[in-house]
Structure 1
């Protein structure tokens, strides 16, 4: 789940609480070229104000134009963009002949919708994965707890409802501030991650104005060990070359459900770190194998930006379940 989707739900909740009706959209399926995956979210008001995206431009433009003309008055409906069969929003041709199915929910500012958004927000901010079930005829919405496996969007056999799996927004915890950390934070923000940078050093904090990232002035290991810091959609990276920060961060991180752990360093320094983690940190071989050392893809990176690119590329690879030998 992208951090952008969290912003969409936060804004939808805010508009509902202000008495505004909102149109809450979810990408259900894509075929061909599409920059947004199934489950991605978008919200708009009747006056055209909006947050999020469905396709990166053309679909949103057409949707807002139709909304301004008084369309989408049903509680819930499904719309296909890029269709060639005369159905759906075929005023828009998507790149490479692609199609995009979108769920559109018209939500009035009532108690039920506010409570639904509260539950959705709690899901994106917490550690519980849930399925959001929407009846297409009535617009009725319910949540069901689940284990977080399988496709994000599933149509019912009857075609009368859709199930959308939602979970914590993707999070990147960066242990320690460095030039690589700052570049990594910028890449991560562009990829839609919630970014948290931890460092207790005052001199480092003075050099870390990363717009849009949360800065925690504490030892990364302390933050990582705190309740709720890491969930299954969290990546933890240590990028300082300082064992007092990097090693302690990994000792705590192996006890979390984070899907990616990594430490910057050469192969030789990584072997030395693994030995320290065994000897001083008490980590088992299984725990050490969870840590990507050296971190990142082997791109021949030299500059901080190139190293950060290699780090984020490897995080995305693991997040997507792609083996290195399939790249």
Structure 2
């Protein structure tokens, strides 16, 4: 599965390698209604060719028109669409009065820029999460864009309070590993795919797969614990959930997940079941109290969910909460 970020960076890199200047646009912030979230990318050339998007189409059209008219000649600049202000663009109105700030980088086809995008592409294909730090001062002494190590949780875009730089997180496609086929896991898989996750469902039981038909998932007919333990299976943008109520599947998956850099590990079950599982994992699995604290059990947000779809919604909402760096009390 090739995510949109990778597609945009790949095309921008191809244009630079061909000796063509490229404009890389990043959504920095949105206010009100906006179709794309912060961190969304678009790359374009002066002739109007482009890939990716910033909105539902109106912003792209205006940007490309101005680019063709010779605007955006600075190395880095910010503009605001849909609202008044010192970066205001009054010709474009976003739905429901929304607005968005966009960072525009003019990338010349020089070795420094080519090397930087090559490293970004490697990061998108890899196992770690990094940050593109883009200097905003446009001075000759500016370091341009750097690639730094980062954590996978929290806001994807962070603007320095003193306007010296912008940090934009980049990394591999978010992955959800589901241990076991169940009615809840099927809905989780569908929700996760819609949210842009790469979804892997693992279950060695042939009968469990009889009525599974979820286009887009990766099906692994093996114990989830064996899949999780394999090299390069889990990275820092991975979530792992056990959804069968079968300790032979869920417990073993959790015991392996603890040894990975996954940002979310969760197991389905009631408070009573979760307490018993915690004791069992410490007694027979050798997990420490610190290990147990990493596991979300009972899994998901307390939404009063009853049906499989509602439980899956609560699970994916909790995964998104952790991925966005939100504490429960902030909801």
Q: TM-score, with normalisation over the residues of structure 2? A: 0.80
Q: Does 1:309 align with 2:310?
A: no
Shift in alpha-carbon separation, 1:169–1:290, aligned structure 2, 3 A:
same
The 8 Å contact of residues 154 and 323 in structure 2, kept in 1 or not, is answered as no
Shift in alpha-carbon separation, 1:321–1:108, aligned structure 2, 3 A:
closer
1:89 aligns with 89
Q: Displacement of 1:60 after TM fit?
A: 3.0
Shift in alpha-carbon separation, 1:170–1:59, aligned structure 2, 3 A:
same
Q: Displacement of 1:314 after TM fit?
A: 1.3
Shift in alpha-carbon separation, 1:108–1:181, aligned structure 2, 3 A:
farther
Alignment of 1:1-327 (within 5 A): 4-13=4-13, 22-44=22-44, 46-51=47-52, 53-67=53-67, 71-72=71-72, 75-85=75-85, 87-95=87-95, 97-107=97-107, 112-124=112-124, 125-134=126-135, 137=138, 141-148=144-151, 152-155=157-160, 157=162, 162-205=166-209, 207-327=211-331
Deviates more, 1:223-232 or 1:129-138: 129-138
**Partners of 1:154 and 1:326 in 2: CA distance:** 21
Once the two structures are superposed, what CA deviation does each residue of 1:252-295 show, in whole Å capped at 9, x if it has no partner? 11222322111122333333322321222121222223212221
**Partners of 1:320 and 1:292 in 2: CA distance:** 16
Once the two structures are superposed, what CA deviation does each residue of 1:14-67 show, in whole Å capped at 9, x if it has no partner? 56567776432111233444454433322345455522x323443234334545
Shift in alpha-carbon separation, 1:297–1:97, aligned structure 2, 3 A:
same
**Partners of 1:23 and 1:55 in 2: CA distance:** 16
Q: Displacement of 1:123 after TM fit?
A: 2.1
Shift in alpha-carbon separation, 1:156–1:301, aligned structure 2, 3 A:
closer
5+ residue gaps, structure 1, are: none
Q: Displacement of 1:311 after TM fit?
A: 0.6
**Partners of 1:211 and 1:20 in 2: CA distance:** 38
Q: Displacement of 1:249 after TM fit?
A: 0.7
5+ residue gaps, structure 2, are: none
Once the two structures are superposed, what CA deviation does each residue of 1:125-170 show, in whole Å capped at 9, x if it has no partner? 321423333456479743243444886333484x575443434443
